[in-house]
Chain A
Amino acid sequence: MKPLFTRGPSPEFRLLVLGLLAVVLIAADHYTNWFQSTRERLSGFVAPLYWLTDAPERVGEWAGEQFRSREELQEENSRLKRQVLLLEQRSQLLAAVKAENTQLKELMNAAEMVDDRVLVAQVIGISPDPLEHVLLIDKGRDDGLDVGTPVMDASGLLGQVIEAGDAFSRVLLITDASHAIPVQLLRNSMRSVAEGTGHLYHLKLRHLASTSDIREGDLLLSSGLGGRFPAGYPVGEVVSVTRDPGRPFAEAEVLPRGRMNRSRFVLAVVGDRGQGLAGE
């Protein structure tokens, strides 16, 4: 027989207990990292959700690959061949420069630059929360990724891994409002910190001395300070510098080099990290 009234604790009591429990969880999750490993283990449940939502995209890509015409493929092939030729020529040049550089560094007794091992990962989702810039990628601890692994694309740094499951990671982008990355100018090695603003095309350099030598078009590289990001990868380009005499500091706006919301494939740098400041 159907019970006429609900049994057990009243809804008020349940709300009180579960509400308090939720508040405790929120506080614990925010101020400690107790749940990091739980979350990572439960990614086995989360990853399929993102795989499923990504499926239409992948079917579309697959269909696009399958039904490409012969001419298109040939054209692409020859274009890629030309590109490979160009890149090879450039890398030959680079090899010579690199050898010379190592030699010079040996002369100066400086630490040797280590080649980073990179891994190609596919973006399978973005965070549904409009307040955070987080990508989900299809590589995890099984592939050597860990919390803190830097992630980049062909044109610049994108961000770092903040949660690594077995075959699934969350990547916090450098444009997220809670992110900051140590950088230096390519032109004069001036150091600063580029903060995310929550906008996909904006980074900010705050608290620059108003006399500092920085101007539009300057390229910013990661400085490697802090040991999180490897040194020498492009971060962004200065688009404007504000020097207000009424304020103690100058500010600069930076356009990130990495294509934050357009990269389908990204590179995870799983090699050695924290080589210190390059070129000093």
Chain B
Amino acid sequence: MQANNRWLVAATIFLSLLLAVMPLPQQWLWFRPAFPALLVIFWISQLPQALGVGFAWLVGILEDLATGASLGTHALALAVLAYFSLLTYQRTRAFNPLQQLLWVFVLVGINQVVGNWVHGLEGKTVPGLTFLWPALTTALLWPWVAPMLRGMSRRLDIR
């Protein structure tokens, strides 16, 4: 493994953090896609030999700092998500786009459930299943974002 264009990983993660704190109207806040989670899923499926649970955990800590959530909330959620992505990346590569989309929904859903659990510990109650909306919006983004990033990382020869 040579040191190559890995800066793309850092740059996209930074961009996802920006999108995670971008101001939105109050009523749209529930639908904000979980951009860092999307990026973690993508990069782990792309570079499973280099990135894993530790990488996701670090991204999570950065997201906690950026969003002002309790330190460790997103770190825990993304570490769990990273573990499941690592287990399944070989299979998901063979999935067709619709199956991939559904699988991303499940992965981000796991991420949201863990996040919601931490919220519950802190005494913040969420009405019904609203906390799962980001899983849906993130899954719908996947068919656009993944091929784009894959093309970029192929051109930059990221291995």
Contact = CB atoms under 8 A, between A and B. Distances in A.
A251 B3 CA distance: 65
Interface string A10-22: 0110110011011
Interface string B3-43: 00000000000000110111110100110100000000000
A128 B65 contact: no
A129 interface: yes
B153 to A, nearest CB: 16
Nearest to A124: B23
B79 interface: yes
Contacts of B107: none
Q: Interface extent on B, as a size class?
A: 35 or more
A54 B23 contact: yes
Interface in A114-147: 125-132, 134
Contact of B68 (A6, A45, A129, A130): A129
A29 interface: yes
B122 A14 contact: no
Given A2-B1, A15-B80, A22-B60, A129 B67 contact: yes
Given A39-B65, A130-B26, A130-B30, A25 B21 contact: no
A46 B65 contact: yes
A23 B23 contact: no
A125 B23 contact: yes
B23 A3 contact: no
The secondary-structure label for the interface of chain A is helix
Contact of B21 (A23, A53, A132): A53
Given A14-B52, A46-B66, A128-B32, A53 B121 contact: no
B17 A49 contact: yes
Contacts of A52: 18
A157 B69 CA distance: 24
B86 A11 contact: yes
B10 to A, nearest CB: 13
A50 interface: yes
Contacts of B126: 131
Contacts of A45: 65
Contact of B65 (A12, A28, A42, A54): A42
B67 A131 contact: no
Nearest to B52: A11
Contacts of B68: 46, 127, 129, 132, 134, 163, 170
A49 B66 contact: yes
Contact of A129 (B23, B49, B69, B79): B69
Given A29-B70, A128-B21, A131-B124, A18 B65 contact: no
A163 B64 CA distance: 14
A15 B53 contact: yes
Given A26-B70, A49-B66, A15 B124 contact: no
A52 to B, nearest CB: 6
Given A14-B53, A18-B75, A26-B70, A53 B22 contact: yes
A107 B123 CA distance: 49
Interface residues of A, number: 44
Interface of A: 2-3, 6, 11-12, 14-15, 18-19, 21-26, 28-30, 35, 39, 42, 45-46, 49-50, 52-54, 57, 125-132, 134, 163, 170, 177-178, 200, 261
Chain A to chain B: the 7 pairs with minimum beta-carbon distance, closest first: A25-B72, A22-B76, A130-B29, A22-B72, A26-B72, A14-B53, A29-B71
Interface of B: 1, 17-18, 20-24, 26, 29-30, 32, 48-49, 52-54, 57, 60, 65-73, 75-76, 79-80, 82-83, 86-87, 118-119, 121-124, 126, 159
19 contacts: A15-B80, A18-B54, A18-B79, A19-B80, A22-B75, A22-B79, A25-B70, A25-B72, A26-B121, A29-B70, A30-B121, A42-B65, A45-B65, A54-B23, A57-B23, A128-B22, A128-B24, A128-B29, A132-B68
Given A15-B79, A22-B75, 13 more contacts: A19-B79, A21-B72, A22-B72, A26-B121, A30-B122, A46-B68, A49-B66, A125-B21, A125-B23, A128-B67, A129-B67, A130-B29, A132-B68
